[in-house]
Amino acid sequence: MSKKRAVIIDTDPGIDDAVALAIALNHEELDVKLLTTVAGNVSVAKTTDNTLKLLSFFEKEIPVAEGSAHPLINEFEDSADIHGESGMDGYDFPKPTRQIETVHAVEAMRRTILESKEPITLVPIAALTNIALLFAMYPEVKANIEEIVLMGGTMSRGNTNTSAEFNIYVDPHAAKMVFQSGVPIVMVGTDVTSVAVLTNQETEKIKTLGKVGEMFYAMFKHYRGGSLKTGLKMHDVCAIAYLVAPQLFETQATYVEIATEGPAAGATVADLKMKYHDEKNATVCVEVDVDGFRNWVINELSKI
């Protein structure tokens, strides 16, 4: 079997985060070394609690460290209208049996990255606050990071303001620092994640997958990232798909600038023709094999 890829996932569960974590935690090609949490879909206290609930549900012993409670500069705005007040509305999880680490997410990431024999891939599927702080406080970690594969951004219309996708919108200043960090970035944005929706056909199939399927279907009924009728947006799941099945995506290397102020704050402006920059800082997903993605999701969830 090929060597596992060592990853740290920074997350804000979040119903699509929950599906992404389910697949990542159970994937034979991924070694999830650490989970870190951040304020995003709901408060960091809730995203941490939800992460612990998922780990207990999947009976996994992976360290969890709680991160930033608010963005670097902006006021915190959540997304409870999409994911529910708890962040994972619809399923009554038992009280988690896992505990969090005693250090902040940034410290836990520093330690995990510096102690790792193989380079780590960072997988932020939430606002980039923790990652920006990590690079500002401990730039030495960059030497042992293979790349960042993040869910966030868009090259077209935003899902939060006219131009911005939610994860970048929540903390655009952090996003700017990360995109300027010099670490290779793969941006899995809504250009692909809003297209690769799960239709009724997939969700009905998921419903039949025992305890795991029942849990997800219960949450899907409450999720407002699309609907069971029109299709569910599994944004964060696409980032995990990119890690293990990159052939499902077409990409373009470019330079992505982040707007931090004004009505376009949080926009990820891709210089696709490289008219304004000499160097590239990101590889952007531009197309996705939708049927291939749907089959991959069903296949991965069936294995759990």
Annotated catalytic sites, by residue? 235
Q: Provide, rounded to whole angstroms, the least separation between the CB of residue 280 and Ca ion.
A: 26
Strands (E), 157-302: 185-188, 226-227, 231-232, 249-254, 256-258, 268-270, 282-288
Q: Provide, rounded to whole angstroms, the least separation between the CB of residue 277 and ligand BDR.
A: 25
Q: Provide, rounded to whole angstroms, the least separation between the CB of residue 167 and ligand BDR.
A: 5
Residue (82 or 284) nearer to Ca ion, CB: 82
Residue (14 or 158) nearer to Ca ion, CB: 14
Looking at residues 227 to 246 of the shown chain, list those that interact with Ca ion (rule: CB under 5 A): 236
Q: How many residues does the chain have?
A: 304
171 binds Ca ion (CB under 5 A): no
**Residue where the block lists tokens 């102690």:** 115
The closest alpha carbon to 37, from 127, 151, 168, belongs to 127
* Residue 74 binds: one of Ca ion, ligand BDR, none (C-beta under 5 to 8 A by kind): none
Q: Which one of residues 14, 67, 213, 266 is an interface residue with Ca ion (CB under 5 A)?
A: 14
Q: Which one of residues 6, 8, 15, 17 is an interface residue with Ca ion (CB under 5 A)?
A: 17
123 binds Ca ion (CB under 5 A): no
Residue (133 or 192) nearer to ligand BDR, CB: 192
Residue (191 or 236) nearer to Ca ion, CB: 236
Q: Provide, rounded to whole angstroms, the least separation between the CB of residue 102 and ligand BDR.
A: 27
Strands (E), the chain: 5-11, 30-37, 64-66, 120-124, 145-151, 185-188, 226-227, 231-232, 249-254, 256-258, 268-270, 282-288
CB 41 within 8 A of CB 14: yes
CB 192 within 8 A of CB 288: yes
Q: What are phi and psi of 295, to 5 degrees?
A: -65, -40
- Total residues binding Ca ion (CB under 5 A): 6
Residues of this chain that interact with ligand BDR (CB under 6 A) are 14, 16-17, 41, 79, 82, 125-126, 151, 159, 165-167, 235-236
Which residues are paired to 249 by β-bridges?
288
